[in-house]
Amino acid sequence: MGEHILSWMTFFPVIGAAVIAFIPSERKEIIKTVAAAAAAVPLILAVQLFVNFDRGTAAFQFVEHYTWIKSFNIEYYMGIDGLSVPMVLLTALLSFLCIIASWNISKATKGYFALFLILEAAMIGVFCALDFFLFYLFWELMLLPMYFLIGIWGGPRREYAAIKFFLYTLAGSVLMLLAMIAFYLNVQDPNTGGHTFNMLFMMDQANHSAWLKATDIRHLLWLGLFIGFAIKVPIFPFHTWLPDAHVEAPTAVSVILAGVLLKMGTYGLLRISYPILPDAAVWFSFTLAIFGAINILYGAYCAMAQTDMKKLVAYSSISHMGYVLLGMSAMTSAGINGAVLQMFNHGTITAMMFLCVGVIYDRAHHREINGFGGLGLQMPLYTSVFSFALFAAIGLPGLSGFVSEAMIFIGVFPVYRTVAIISALGIIIGAAYVLWMLQRVFLGPKNEKYDDLPDISGREMFTLVPIGILVLLLGIYPMPVLDLMKVSLNNLIKVVAG
């Protein structure tokens, strides 16, 4: 597997899905075991990536480059750099843990796990693809399993949520498609002189045609891509699909949605928009900072007003993704590194929160914040774990969320001081809604209604503890992840900000 490690990571889950297709549906245990095994392989390979990744270069590594559809110059071009490595690691980890967290799925088990594996394949593909067409293909491929996972295994309003998610994302994809075609027609392959989907060629401004060099066109293309990616992040005001999708989706799907899918928006901006249209990125950066601030504060205020635990966590995601935007807008080393670190950290922390919400939902069959109280006495271990996740979410030092938020503020403060000062209010409001929820759910006198709720189980702890350890370790010493990305990201800043 050494040669084609990225392809193996991407397509091994597909093989797993294919195997599952041949297992009779009533053999549920076997299906689940196969799914877990199929998701474990990318995780093992991810560890191998982490070990072997060369931290000293900004160049793409583990590259696989083949001609695919010759007549349109479409290539099978995979490779990773410091920006994609953390995302690939995150995807492999969360996918595996989510398979474990889905152990209780009893409805159409076979379809669920097959779709989940296809979803994983598409996600890893997105983060590895270096050919725009291939990227787009994986991007669209994600939609389908996600649509069914929400639409079939979701809550009461699942169909509404699934369609909303699907159409919204599709609308974004259309804009991305148009931009992609514009690039395809206006970027010249320096070797052959033909059109190309190769992202690396697109990043080299010398390959751009005269039409593509016009400022208005570049701004227009930037905006097209931006809206496409903004829907995924999601950036205010394109965010309302998210709370619905989260609330209706089954726990593991929420985890993937918040943990990985949201990152694709910001990943796309950094992978495609920033290097291909660096001047437009600079032009837009202040607006991006404003969007970041709005996301942070608006998301936090909306979260405060929620009475559904899952919705609260969903809005907190919007708020926390705002920090990523804020960091990206700064275009300083601290800002961008902080932003990507925040993408990773939000992935782990929010995953913990959704898993924890799932734990209580499985037991009490509701998520009304005001319907609980005093769980701290009934479920002490669960309380500790959930509190850990919540404190990580409000940026408590010693846990990973703090490091990235601090870096983002260090990065953005010299550039957009006022925006930074306003955004920093988010650390107060964030603490307010989180602690208020913590109080209403866990503190106070014991609620007799829940006297027979069992504490968190071993399997549930198995899904939470690895993430928790990661959150703690990166909070104490973040360099292992920063080392992976800093060379590539500093190079990106050089490209964009000159």
C-alpha closest to that of 183 among 223, 132, 143, 256: 132
Q: Does 223 bind other proteins (CB under 8 A)?
A: no
Helix, strand or coil, per DSSP, at residue 68: strand
The CA-CA-CA angle for residues 45, 47, 52, to 5°, reads 90
What minimum distance in Å lies between the beta carbon of 82 and other proteins? Answer: 11
Residue 40 or 427 having the CB closest to other proteins? 427
C-alpha closest to that of 38 among 125, 124, 96, 106: 96
Number of residues that bind other proteins (CB under 8 A): 61
Burial class, 329, CB count within 10 angstroms (exposed 0-12 / middle 13-18 / buried 19+): buried
CA-based torsion, 320, 325, 327, 328: positive or negative: positive
**Helix axes of 109-128 and 5-21: crossing angle, nearest 10 degrees:** 160
Site for other proteins in 288-347 (CB under 8 A): 298, 301-302, 304-306, 332-334, 337
Give the number of other CB atoms < 10 A from CB of residue 267: 23
Burial class, 406, CB count within 10 angstroms (exposed 0-12 / middle 13-18 / buried 19+): middle
Q: How far apart are CA 410 and CA 497, in angstroms?
A: 17
Segment interacting with other proteins, rule: CB under 8 A, options 34-42, 262-270, 319-327, 433-441: 433-441
Residue 1 or 305 having the CB closest to other proteins? 305
Site for other proteins in 129-188 (CB under 8 A): 164, 167-168
Q: Kindly write out the interface string for residues 188-207 of this chain, putting x where it contacts other proteins by CB under 8 A and - elsewhere.
A: --------------------
Q: Does 237 bind other proteins (CB under 8 A)?
A: yes
Among 13, 42, 79, 376, binds other proteins (CB under 8 A): 376
Which amino acid, 492?
L
Segment interacting with other proteins, rule: CB under 8 A, options 3-11, 185-193, 207-215, 411-419: 411-419
Dihedrals φ, ψ of 32, to 5°?
Answer: -65, -40
Among 443, 472, 473, 497, binds other proteins (CB under 8 A): 443
Segment interacting with other proteins, rule: CB under 8 A, options 73-81, 123-131, 219-227, 422-430: 422-430
Q: Kindly write out the interface string for residues 381-410 of this chain, putting x where it contacts other proteins by CB under 8 A and - elsewhere.
A: ----------x----xxx---xx--xx-xx
Length of the chain measured in residues:
498
Q: Does 444 bind other proteins (CB under 8 A)?
A: yes
Max CA distance (Å), the chain:
75
Among 99, 482, 492, 496, binds other proteins (CB under 8 A): 482
Residue 215 or 439 having the CB closest to other proteins? 439
Residue 164 or 246 having the CB closest to other proteins? 164
Residue 168 or 183 having the CB closest to other proteins? 168
Checking 72-76 for CB contacts under 8 A at 24+ apart, the result is 72/133, 72/195, 72/197, 73/189, 73/192, 73/194, 73/195, 73/196, 73/197, 73/198, 74/131, 74/133, 74/134, 74/197, 75/131, 75/134, 75/197, 75/198, 76/131, 76/134
Q: How far apart are CA 461 and CA 463, in angstroms?
A: 5
Number of helices (H) and strands (E), helices first, in the chain?
23, 2
Q: Does 461 bind other proteins (CB under 8 A)?
A: no
Tell me the β-bridge partners of 308. 368
What minimum distance in Å lies between the beta carbon of 241 and other proteins? Answer: 8
Among 14, 44, 432, 495, binds other proteins (CB under 8 A): 432
What minimum distance in Å lies between the beta carbon of 459 and other proteins? Answer: 21
Residue 82 or 125 having the CB closest to other proteins? 82
What minimum distance in Å lies between the beta carbon of 131 and other proteins? Answer: 30
The residues of the shown chain that bind other proteins, judged by CB under 8 A, are 164, 167-168, 236-237, 239-241, 298, 301-302, 304-306, 332-334, 337, 374, 376-377, 391, 396-398, 402-403, 406-407, 409-411, 413-415, 417, 420-421, 424-425, 427-429, 431-433, 435-436, 438-439, 442-446, 477-479, 482, 486, 490
